Chains A and B, each alone.
Chain A
Amino acid sequence: MRLIPLALLILLVASACSDNLPRSTLNPVGENAETIDNLFRLTLAIAAVFFVGVNAAVLYVAIRYRARKGDDREPKQIHGNDTLEITWTVIPALILAAIAVPTVQTVFELAEEPADALQVEVIGHQWWWEYRYPELGVVTANEMWIPTDQPVFLSMTTDDEDVIHSFWIPNLNGKRDVVPGRVNTLTISAPEPGVYLGQCAEFCGLSHARMRMTVHAAEPADFDAWVTDQLAPGNVDEDSEGWGLFLDKGCSACHAIGGTEAAGGGLNPGPDLTHVGSRTTFAGGSYQLTTENLKAWLRNPSELKAMEPDANRGMPNLGLTEDEIDTLVAFLQDLK
């Protein structure tokens, strides 16, 4: 019976390796994530030896030394053994020292800022992510684009009124907390193009679970094209009904659209919508950006994602009619 955990472990390892896991730490893509994974596997292998040893010993004792009927001899009264004590103090200590060396090396290695990195500022909000590319002038939300040929150096913080978040793309690197009043840094890199998912990892209040993020790693040419698109002003027809609604309903109080009178100067509390139509997700990365989802969102945002608009955390219900919703959704989807 005591083998159940072990059998379970084997089963779980097997099942864990079979799936496509876009958020798994066991499937590292970035260089840092790989370094971490190797170190973890080394530690796990050593731990496994102790795991098997101790559990086998417990099992052995329970079977081998179990009291038997008819055996009325008492066991020898052994009070201890100094040699054994020293052995099982020193050997684990040496093994731990052996783990400590690569650990400390890696800690310092991971803390280095690469020389040629692309700079991105990450700002955590309750409950979405804002990304600013200071060298490129791009501002976007929830979905970060990075080139495959360059490491990316993230400088991360939040507004003073906000709380602690943690930025975590398991495929690309470990997590790093995003703390109000501080700037923490993290280097990520993705040599292979692809979509890597993440999740805020520090409990940050009501909608913590729906504070997710996506990283699009793109070939250099594709990345440059994305940057060019992002730098263009928002695709707004200033005579359109959608634009009128966007201003009338107060959307522009929180959301910026670059190159228009709603450019907002970056002071707005909601995600930048200049190119929202080009994204694949919205609402803190927790919904696919489809017409149906957007409509449901505008009907009542808190229905899809719990928020506290009264406390200035999240989007209020604007009380829109179905016609207004249709118009606005079309307007938003045109913001490519």
Chain B
Amino acid sequence: MATLTPEATELEEPEEHGAEGGGLWSWITTVDHKRIGLMYGGTAMLFFLIGGIEALFIRLQLAVPDATVLTEAQYNQLFTMHGTTMVFLVIMPLAAAFGNYLLPLMIGARDVAFPRMNAMSFWVFLFGGIFLSSSFFLGGFPDGGWFGYAPLSTQSEMIRMDFWALGLLILGIASLAGAINFTTTIFTMRAPGMSMFKMPVFVWMQLVVAFLLLFSLPVITVALFEVLFDRNFGTLFFDPAAGGDPILYQHLFWLFGHPEVYILILPSMGIVSEVLPVFSRKPLFGYQFVVFAGAAIALLGFGVWSHHMFTSGLGPVAESAFSLTTMFIAVPTGIKIFNWIGTTWGGKISLKTPMLFSLGFIAMFTIGGLSGVTHAVVPADTQQTDTYYVVAHFHYVLFGGAMFGIFAGIYYWWPKISGRYLSEPLGKWHFWLMLIGFNLTFAPQHWLGLQGMARRTAVYPPDIGLETLNMVSTIGAFTIAVSMLPFLYAMLVNSRTGAPAPADAWDGRTLEWSISSPPPHHNFHDVPTVEAIDDFWHQKYGEDDEGRAVRVKTFPEPSRYTDKYIHLPSPSYYPIMLAGGLVLMAYGFIFAPLGIPLFVIGALILFGGAFGWAQEDPDHPMGDHDDHHAEPDDGSEPDETAEEAAGDEVEDPTAALADGVVADGGDDA
């Protein structure tokens, strides 16, 4: 994935992104959703490797009882950062990467609704991730667990948990801005004719995720502010001695935390819902049901949070109520699984790597879902929660589920992104090694948990039956690490030397396959008009009397270039400036009072960025990079319809308000 870093791509494929040109500066100032998507993905993959290395250290420590590979202090830091990294710096941004790259392509738009705000989201995410990780060099990683329960998170005098709380607040800004952007994009930028129920399921799932983010992020924001203020300003939100209640923190955290689970898994459900039909050569079974099930999961997801607190002492009435809602959420989840199987049933299945990962997703996610049902049974949960049984459960959901779906998506869309196929043999090695390694690692953890192994324990005693399975689990973890090698090799090498992929690389169904691989800078020469779900497929195929697909039309290979003049949003350096200022402020806050000058400098940069942004005319940017024509301009007339659809120069009030600091967001004239 290293080729995704700006420098690498720019050096190797200067023509890759059309007239926007190469050079580091062009990546820093880019507002192109495709480039932003790639940067999201590349950064998240780097964090995936970091989080994976953290996991390997954890598994090394746990390979044998009473091990001393790590000290308790180091172990606590590593599992805290492993969880925080994988959730906030890997899976969420990977979903954002897919959303960024694909949403406009799949709905027939030239960009997202707010390109500059989109760039800001990425830079805030990147700097926020660096900020959080830099704690390692500045006193140690946070060590309070990824959900930072008070009062443990407010107890320590160390600055680590300040890094954690502030880091998550910063990342929350990126996610909130992204959610606003995606919501608006999906609601307002769809190609003519694409009604809501003609959208691809992936787009639906991104919309549901955006809504989940909109309504859950503010809740954790409040929880984090309260922790931060307790730690730094002497407030007493979670101080039992003064009457504060630690359980309040748990309610706030999980009122975010459970929707968060669906934020992590729904994008992959969307990916799988795109991949399965293509490789079965059948439409998605029960499209409306899959969509409604996704929405139902999201809605119910706000009513189940207390099942994370079944041992907190809620009382039997609340426990029963949350038990029922939690069980009920299994119904729409089941509907999805059955519809996916229905999609493949009777199809003509091609077991290419994306399909393998998608089928793997169904199998592994089902296991995670079923162990989830056992958690809904409150009495059983009191034995399982905070043990390795839960660790196994959420890894089946988030690794076997979310990550398998993401890998399916990478293998599926990489030909579109790079114009080259990834190697099938390498992909199959990757899949099978990962599937075996994954099950070796996490299946035994169910039993470890049931045998009394509590999670988050740096050491466990010998002679209580935990040795063998822990060793198996560690071997599995290293198998997963090995499985990443063919993947990384394929990404690094095949992206340049792989078999060239045509525009319609898999005989696809959705709009992105109708344009060249890689896509033109402006996505669509002409904004398409949509008549049906899977419109592109239905242009290619009809049905005979038996209902079998029949090819009716073949499109010529589309060009990346057009002789039309297509206006695109201009690059801007204000987003990165704003993000940089924000993170400087965070460092300043952490190291107050010494850091106050840094805080002030950061605030000035942020203010300047916001002010410049507000003043910047997206149509007439700074003279030195006004190259906002998509393609060589032969002087033909501007394509006005296209420009309207691009809706590009829109900006700031929301961006400015989203971070709650910027003062002059309103005036974007």
Q: Do chains A and B touch in the complex (CB under 8 A)?
A: yes
Shortest B412–chain A CB gap in Å is 17
Shortest A139–chain B CB gap in Å is 22
**A103 adjacent to B76 (CB under 8 Å):** no
Give Cα A99–Cα B326 distance, bound, in whole angstroms: 12
Which of A11-19, A223-231, A239-247, A265-273 is found at the contact surface with chain B?
A11-19
Residues in B with CB closer than 8 Å to A221 are none
Which of B197-205, B344-352, B481-489, B655-663 is found at the contact surface with chain A?
B344-352
Residues in A with CB closer than 8 Å to B548 are 73-77
Beta-carbon nearest neighbor of A97 in chain B:
B327
**B363 adjacent to A61 (CB under 8 Å):** no
Residues in B with CB closer than 8 Å to A206 are 72-73, 76, 143
Which of A195-203, A249-257, A291-299, A316-324 is found at the contact surface with chain B?
A195-203
Chain B 288-332 interface mask (CB, 8 Å, partner A; 1/0): 110000000000000000000001110110011001100110110
Shortest B366–chain A CB gap in Å is 5
Which of B254-262, B266-274, B379-387, B599-607 is found at the contact surface with chain A?
B379-387
**B546 adjacent to A96 (CB under 8 Å):** no
Scoring A39, A43, A184 by chain B CB atoms within 10 A of each residue's CB, the highest score goes to: A43
**A161 adjacent to B289 (CB under 8 Å):** no
**B547 adjacent to A66 (CB under 8 Å):** no
B401-441 residues at the A interface, CB under 8 angstroms? 432, 435-436, 439-440
Residues in A with CB closer than 8 Å to B363 are 2, 5, 54-55, 58
Residues in B with CB closer than 8 Å to A136 are none
CB < 8 Å neighbour of B315 from A88, A111, A160? A111
Give Cα A176–Cα B344 distance, bound, in whole angstroms: 45
Which of A20-28, A117-125, A142-150, A326-334 is found at the contact surface with chain B?
A20-28
**B379 adjacent to A110 (CB under 8 Å):** yes
CB < 8 Å neighbour of B443 from A5, A57, A66? A5
At the interface, yes or no: B155 with Cβ under 8 Å from chain A?
yes
Residues in B with CB closer than 8 Å to A176 are 311, 313, 382
Residues in A with CB closer than 8 Å to B347 are 61, 65, 75
Number of interface residues of B (CB under 8 A): 112
Contact status of A92 and B330, CB under 8 A, knowing A62-B359, A65-B345: yes
Contact status of A16 and B286, CB under 8 A, knowing A43-B373, A201-B387: no
Give Cα A54–Cα B76 distance, bound, in whole angstroms: 37
**B371 adjacent to A47 (CB under 8 Å):** yes
At the interface, yes or no: B464 with Cβ under 8 Å from chain A?
yes
Give Cα A166–Cα B145 distance, bound, in whole angstroms: 15
Shortest A198–chain B CB gap in Å is 8
Beta-carbon nearest neighbor of B457 in chain A:
A209
**A106 adjacent to B246 (CB under 8 Å):** no
At the interface, yes or no: A233 with Cβ under 8 Å from chain B?
no
Contact status of A47 and B373, CB under 8 A, knowing A21-B451, A81-B286, A85-B335: yes
Give Cα A170–Cα B380 distance, bound, in whole angstroms: 11
At the interface, yes or no: B367 with Cβ under 8 Å from chain A?
yes
At the interface, yes or no: B342 with Cβ under 8 Å from chain A?
yes
Residues in B with CB closer than 8 Å to A1 are 432, 435-436
Residues in B with CB closer than 8 Å to A174 are 311, 379-383
Give Cα A104–Cα B280 distance, bound, in whole angstroms: 43
At the interface, yes or no: A208 with Cβ under 8 Å from chain B?
yes
At the interface, yes or no: A179 with Cβ under 8 Å from chain B?
yes
**B73 adjacent to A179 (CB under 8 Å):** no
Give Cα A54–Cα B342 distance, bound, in whole angstroms: 11
At the interface, yes or no: A306 with Cβ under 8 Å from chain B?
yes
**A15 adjacent to B349 (CB under 8 Å):** no
**A25 adjacent to B451 (CB under 8 Å):** yes
Beta-carbon nearest neighbor of A25 in chain B:
B383
**B374 adjacent to A80 (CB under 8 Å):** no
**A164 adjacent to B457 (CB under 8 Å):** no
**A5 adjacent to B246 (CB under 8 Å):** no
Give Cα A24–Cα B344 distance, bound, in whole angstroms: 41
**A67 adjacent to B350 (CB under 8 Å):** yes
Identify 10 new A-B residue pairs, CB closer than 8 A, beyond the known A58-B359, A78-B547, A100-B323.
A16-B447, A39-B380, A58-B362, A65-B280, A80-B286, A161-B241, A174-B311, A181-B240, A203-B144, A203-B152
A sample of 25 inter-chain contacts (CB < 8 A) reads A1-B435, A2-B363, A5-B363, A8-B444, A20-B465, A37-B383, A39-B380, A61-B344, A62-B351, A74-B348, A80-B285, A80-B287, A85-B335, A92-B331, A103-B320, A106-B378, A110-B379, A176-B313, A179-B313, A182-B247, A185-B313, A203-B76, A203-B145, A212-B461, A306-B73
Q: Please provide the 5 A-B residue pairs with the shortest distance between their CB atoms, ordered closest to farther.
A: A174-B382, A23-B452, A181-B240, A209-B457, A160-B241
